[in-house]
Structure 1
Amino acid sequence: MALWRRALLLALALLLLCGGAQAEAKRVFIVSSYHPEYQWERDYLQALSARLSPRCQLAFYNLDSKRQPADQVAKRARIALERVRVFHPDLVIVGDDAALKNVGTVLAPSGVPVIFLGINNNPRNYFPGGMPGNVSGVLERPLLLRNLFELGHAVPGAHRALALFDTDLTSAVIRDETFLGHDSIRVGDIDVDMAMLDSFADWKKQVLAAPGRYQVIWVGLYFTLKDDKGKVMNGEEVVRWTAQNAKLPLFAFWDFAVGRGKAAGGLVLTGREQGEEAAKMAEAVLFKGKSLAAMFPLVPSQGQFLFSRSALQRYRVRLPARIESKASWLE
């Protein structure tokens, strides 16, 4: 056979092989609860894409549940379900409680594998008839109690602390799960009050009135706070105002609230880790033939001590050696 014919046949074979591989790419639809500008969501979407995109065709849709009213979130959930139906995915990933509640529960009876991440509630609460065998994922368990205990004792004389949250679904779950449905909880010898607020005006009042009653403040979630006109505030504006005006040491539960001009630090969770763990589960299902029924929901880690040197200096906080030796630093 002439050399050129052999080369032509080889090229055709490679073309067919590559075309077949492309046709066999797994299809994954990712429904997120919030919006891409939200760092938590951005971080886990980047982690999912980095791990899955080389071998999967990905599609995305977000519910924008922190900025939209409930009726619009329900409408967006219906749009998400229709887009999933048209896409014919091999697997669906739902990020955070709103997406699992509004989309994952509807998809589960179809039999498509559904992997969740960032879930604060007990996922079984979304499935009254029992957790389906095609659903599992990654839980988000903010380490509030350990965070409060460890860093509360880094502030000399601290015996009362304030934890600030918005009124989003995640905040409500934290109140029920961690604060046992109460407004206050005792952690070691520190009394912690949880304030769930709807408006930025009320948030500012809490921060400004804190000295005298409290010795330390924790920033929780603040992405559904509304301004005087009822518009949802920009989260960066909220946390930076809080850091600038707080007269007490300011700590955080999530990494997005830590940094220069923000909270000093904390034992935090990251969206990146949630995305990486969910992607590993997806790979096991798509490429190793594993069943979600045999994969129990997991909590990925014990968190990360993350701090800003400039913020610690501003609040004149000196970390205990046992924390400083394990800490990561933003600057």
Structure 2
Amino acid sequence: MNTQTILFLFLLLLAVGGVRAGEKDIVVIESYHSTYRWDIDWLLALRYSLPHYNLVTFQMDTKRLPKKQFASRADIAWDIIKRVDPALIILGDDNALSYLAARIGGSQYKAVYLGINSNPRQTGLFQYKNITGVLERPLYRRSIIEMKKIIPNMRRVLIMFDDSPTSKYAAKDLFQGVEHLEYNGVEIHLVSTNNFDQWRKTLLVAKDKGYDAVWVGLYFTIFDKQQHVDHREVLAWTSRNSQVPLFALWDFAVGTGKTIGGYVMTGNSQGMAAGQLAQRVLAGTLPEEILPVTPEHGQLVFSQHELNRWQLTLPMELQLSAQFLE
């Protein structure tokens, strides 16, 4: 039996069964790539939430590719969407949404986004009645409160980000355009850079500048001259060379040779929340009837190896509710 015959019989079965092509398909557009821990976790949660659907994925790879290629990657994503003609589109993170929202908004498709650090009211997203989703907000304040239980004398801390659009959105939620502020008796400073040399210099003088701890935010768009530096190398160097304890805002930065941990956001929570919204849309609820949601809770995640290395002990109240990676 040749390929054309098989395809004809498949389409005939769909017609007889009353199921159109794509009706059980969901196209998932990832801003990043399939080896990125964040994507792995939220995609796994999506598959768990939507077991009766076939997830067709495409990675825009915008953490590693230069920005000049983002538009062409979005063109490929849109071509896949049209070819599959899915029951739903899921957009993972800010770049996928920003490059595809207008096209989806002007189409017959429905979409759910996740991992969005930008403000939908400021980006004009609310004009699209066929799109809703899950917002991502770093848990700065709760993280400061919880980590102060480990370092009671903490008075001055540094948060380090790369200078990507996602980082700018994430930092804006707390800093609102300023580079430092005070919360719960702690002076919080922000540094954002895509320059690896600047990243290293900033970290190496952190202790001399009076910082009691450093929070590692996002570190995926760091370059050494014109060469992109692998995020694993950035984090490993940061862990080896820091002279003050390192905490995290996302769970993928926790572990041996990484950071101590902290009160972190997880890809799993984003994927589960998006999966729940997707179920509602697939059941017939219009996206315009579903307000964007923000998962309210993070998770205490720690590396026992890094706690030992920094000679830190968790108080009992944190030990009872924390997850330990080693």
Give the TM-score taking structure 2 as reference length.
0.90
Q: How does 1:178-189 map to 2 (within 5 A)?
A: 178-189=174-185
User: Helix, strand or coil for the counterpart of 1:110?
Assistant: coil
Residue 47 of structure 2 is matched in structure 1 by 49
Residue 67 of structure 1 is matched in structure 2 by 64
2:133 corresponds to 1:155: no
Residue 116 of structure 2 is matched in structure 1 by 119
Q: Give the letter for the 1:231 counterpart.
A: Q
- Work out whether residues 222 and 228 of structure 2, in 8 Å CA contact, stay in contact via their aligned partners in 1: yes
Q: In 2, distance between residues paired with 1:222 and 1:139?
A: 20
Q: What percentage of residue pairs aligned between the two structures are identical?
A: 38
Q: In 2, distance between residues paired with 1:59 and 1:275?
A: 15
User: Helix, strand or coil for the counterpart of 1:178?
Assistant: helix
2:288 corresponds to 1:293: yes
Give a deviation string over 1:206-252, Cα, whole Å, max 9, x none.
11111122111111100000124x22211111112111111111100
Structure 1, 301-310 or 62-71: larger mean CA deviation: 62-71
- Work out whether residues 26 and 57 of structure 1, in 8 Å CA contact, stay in contact via their aligned partners in 2: yes
Give a deviation string over 1:106-144, Cα, whole Å, max 9, x none.
21121311100001111233326x442211111111101
Structure 1, 194-203 or 153-162: larger mean CA deviation: 153-162
User: Helix, strand or coil for the counterpart of 2:228?
Assistant: coil
Q: Over aligned residues, Cα RMSD in angstroms?
A: 2.1
Q: How does 1:221-240 map to 2 (within 5 A)?
A: 221-228=218-225, 230-240=226-236
Residue 316 of structure 1 is matched in structure 2 by 311
In the TM superposition, what is the alpha-carbon distance from 1:182 to its structure 2 partner? Answer: 0.9
- Work out whether residues 164 and 196 of structure 1, in 8 Å CA contact, stay in contact via their aligned partners in 2: yes
In the TM superposition, what is the alpha-carbon distance from 1:323 to its structure 2 partner? Answer: 2.2
Give a deviation string over 1:41-74, Cα, whole Å, max 9, x none.
121122223333x422321112211122222011
Aligned match of 2:32 in 31, 34, 38?
34
Q: How does 1:121-200 map to 2 (within 5 A)?
A: 121-127=118-124, 130-200=126-196
Residue 298 of structure 2 is matched in structure 1 by 303
Give the TM-score taking structure 1 as reference length.
0.88
Give a deviation string over 1:5-29, Cα, whole Å, max 9, x none.
xxxxxxxxxxx79x83876752211
- Work out whether residues 175 and 182 of structure 1, in 8 Å CA contact, stay in contact via their aligned partners in 2: no
Count of residues paired in the alignment: 313
Aligned match of 1:262 in 255, 258, 265?
258
Q: In 1, distance between residues paired with 2:175 and 2:37?
A: 26
- Work out whether residues 252 and 265 of structure 1, in 8 Å CA contact, stay in contact via their aligned partners in 2: yes
Q: Give the letter for the 1:48 counterpart.
A: L
Q: In 2, distance between residues paired with 1:242 and 1:67?
A: 19
Residue 7 of structure 1 is matched in structure 2 by none
In the TM superposition, what is the alpha-carbon distance from 1:104 to its structure 2 partner? Answer: 2.3
In the TM superposition, what is the alpha-carbon distance from 1:311 to its structure 2 partner? Answer: 0.5
Say which one has the larger Rg.
1
User: Helix, strand or coil for the counterpart of 1:104?
Assistant: helix
Q: In 1, distance between residues paired with 2:224 and 2:19?
A: 49
Residue 4 of structure 1 is matched in structure 2 by none
Q: Give the letter for the 1:238 counterpart.
A: V
- Work out whether residues 160 and 214 of structure 1, in 8 Å CA contact, stay in contact via their aligned partners in 2: yes
The structure-2 alpha-carbon separation of the partners of 1:22 and 1:58, relative to structure 1 and needing over 3 Å to count, comes to farther
Structure 2 unaligned blocks of 5 or more: 1-12
The structure-2 alpha-carbon separation of the partners of 1:22 and 1:85, relative to structure 1 and needing over 3 Å to count, comes to closer
- Work out whether residues 137 and 173 of structure 2, in 8 Å CA contact, stay in contact via their aligned partners in 1: no
Q: In 1, distance between residues paired with 2:47 and 2:319?
A: 33
Q: In 1, distance between residues paired with 2:188 and 2:79?
A: 44
Residue 6 of structure 2 is matched in structure 1 by none
Q: In 2, distance between residues paired with 1:290 and 1:146?
A: 34
